[in-house]
């Protein structure tokens, strides 16, 4: 297979669907969590769940980088832009994440703050280099996929000795979040979120490889299958998970062999290790404080660390009480369980972060799945 259309072949999808139905035991239920937001989007967009038997359920996980960003971190960015007068650069989806006092970065921009969308951290660095009179901050979010580009611009800023540039670092780590889910009361004690296995992230795994998942696959006896983002990738991964469950195995398997290796991208890993170190704890939306689940900038790059430079202190802020985003991110509830879904909360007017990005569970279901709710 060389072309993307081949990974969206309807006949092949039906063939895999028949294999899943044939091998899934009618005497048991299968519950698999797709951690990555890209998989959530693909499952909704291509109607993957419609091809699965009734006893195979997919649970949305907290793998959307915008969705897990807590309100307090967005508040920090807004404060820098409104009160400190910095030029704040960040990715497009981040602009619409709800913050305190009904604000978002986009609404702060409407109030006069200099907030700019960029496609790459390099764009923010270039702007700072071309405008030495402006204090420029790059608001860095995302999992291991977007961390190496941030590390690279910090090294470049150091090499250029650029005094008017810094990074507000909110990069988070996938394995820590998966372990937090497996340790949660809903999974380990109450059993209200039964998880039989994981569809492992695609792009994250191109960086970290498949090795980091081996520990919790063995420790928690949960199989992991790393999958690409196309519908046939996801369906093949589900079939591989069903087979592992049936055989009583809990191994890490790689469906995405065209891009992922066991060791990952060693050069990118070294770059990240040179620039970042682990935080002792970091708040995730929906998961709360998760130990050793995020990165901070190392001391040699302290001059370009916005938290140190502007003496920022984190203050946690509770989510909207009516919003079920936290429970949805943990797999406890589905988008349709939220009273706000599709009424006051839409992609055009998101109340919670799960409705902001196309990778969010609520946004994906609103775009591709809500029509089925009406029919039902």
CA distance 364 to 201: 17
pLDDT (mean) for 122-126: 98
Task: Tell which residue, 372, 343, 370, 368, has the closest CA to residue 358.
Answer: 368
Residue 321 pLDDT: 87
pLDDT in tens, 161-181: 999 999 999 999 999 999 988
Model pLDDT, residue 371: 66
Beta-strand pair 115-117/87-90: parallel
Q: Mean pLDDT of all residues in the chain?
A: 94
Helix (H, G, I), strand (E, B) or coil at 275: helix
Is there a domain that residue 114 lies in?
A: no
Q: What is the pLDDT of residue 372?
A: 65
pLDDT band at 193 (very low <50, low <70, confident <90, very high): confident
Q: Assess if residue 73 is contained within a domain.
A: no
DSSP 177-244: HHHHHHHSHHHHTS-SS---EEEE-SHHHHHH-SGGGHHHHHHTT--EEE--SSHHHHHHHHHHHHHH
In order of 277, 303, 335, 355, 363, the CA distances from 367 in angstroms are 38, 43, 12, 10, 6
Q: Specify if 223 maps to a domain.
A: yes
Please return the burial class of 190, using the count of CB atoms within 10 Å of its CB with bins 0-12, 13-18 and 19+: exposed
Q: In this structure, are strands 165-171 and 136-142 parallel, antiparallel, or unpaired?
A: parallel
pLDDT at residue 2 tops 80: no
The one-character DSSP state at 320 is P
Q: pTM for the complete prediction?
A: 0.93
User: Cβ(356)–Cβ(328) under 8 Å?
Assistant: no
Assess if residue 10 is contained within a domain. yes
In a domain, 351, yes or no: no
Among residues 353, 371, 374, which one has the least CA distance to residue 362? 353
User: Is 218 a domain residue?
Assistant: yes
What is the domain count for the chain? Answer: 1
- Cα three-residue angle 286-289-292, rounded to 5 degrees: 120
**Cα→Cα distances 230→39, 171, 196, 290, 315, Å:** 8, 25, 22, 30, 39
| Torsion sign, CA atoms 363, 368, 374, 376 | negative
Is 191 contained in some domain?
yes
Domain carrying residue 223: 4-64+174-254
Per-residue pLDDT for 124 more than 90? yes
Report the CATH number at residue 236: 3.40.50.11750
CA 222/CA 209 separation, integer angstroms: 18
Would the pLDDT of 375 be above 60?
A: no
Please report, rounded to a whole number, the percentage of residues in the chain having pLDDT higher than 90. 84
Does residue 300 sit within a domain? Answer: no
């Amino acid at each position: 297979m060389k072309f993307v259309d081949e990974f969206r072949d309807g006949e092949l999808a039906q063939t895999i669907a028949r294999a899943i139905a044939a091998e899934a035991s009618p005497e048991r239920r299968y519950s698999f969590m797709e951690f990555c937001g890209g998989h959530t989007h693909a499952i909704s967009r291509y109607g993957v769940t419609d091809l699965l038997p009734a006893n195979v359920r997919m649970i949305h996980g907290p793998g959307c980088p915008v969705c897990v960003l807590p309100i307090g971190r967005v508040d920090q960015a807004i404060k820098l832009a409104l009160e400190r007068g910095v030029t704040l650069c960040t990715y497009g989806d981040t602009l619409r994440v709800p913050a305190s006092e009904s604000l978002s970065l986009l609404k702060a921009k409407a109030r006069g703050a200099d907030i700019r969308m960029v496609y790459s951290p390099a764009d923010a660095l270039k702007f700072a280099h071309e405008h030495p009179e402006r204090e420029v901050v790059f608001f860095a979010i995302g999992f291991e996929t977007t961390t190496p580009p941030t590390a690279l611009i910090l090294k470049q800023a150091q090499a250029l000795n650029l005094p008017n540039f810094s990074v507000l670092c909110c990069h988070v780590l996938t394995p820590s979040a998966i372990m937090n889910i497996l340790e949660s009361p809903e999974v380990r004690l109450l059993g209200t979120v039964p998880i039989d296995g994981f569809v492992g992230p695609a792009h994250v795994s191109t960086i970290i490889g498949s090795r980091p998942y081996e520990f919790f696959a063995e420790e928690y006896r949960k199989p992991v299958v790393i999958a690409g983002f196309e519908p046939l990738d996801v369906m093949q991964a589900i079939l591989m998970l069903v087979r592992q469950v049936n055989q009583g195995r809990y191994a890490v398997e790689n469906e995405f062999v065209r891009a992922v290796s066991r060791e990952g991208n060693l050069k990118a890993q070294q770059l990240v290790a040179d620039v970042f170190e682990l935080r002792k704890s970091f708040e995730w939306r929906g998961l709360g404080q998760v130990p050793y689940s995020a990165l901070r900038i190392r001391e040699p790059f302290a001059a370009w660390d916005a938290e140190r430079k502007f003496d920022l202190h984190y203050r946690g802020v509770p989510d909207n009480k009516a919003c079920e985003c936290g429970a949805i991110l943990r797999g406890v509830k589905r988008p349709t369980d939220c009273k706000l879904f599709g009424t006051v909360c839409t992609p055009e007017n998101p109340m919670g972060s799960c409705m902001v990005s196309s990778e969010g569970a609520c946004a994906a279901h609103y775009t591709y799945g809500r029509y089925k709710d009406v029919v039902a």
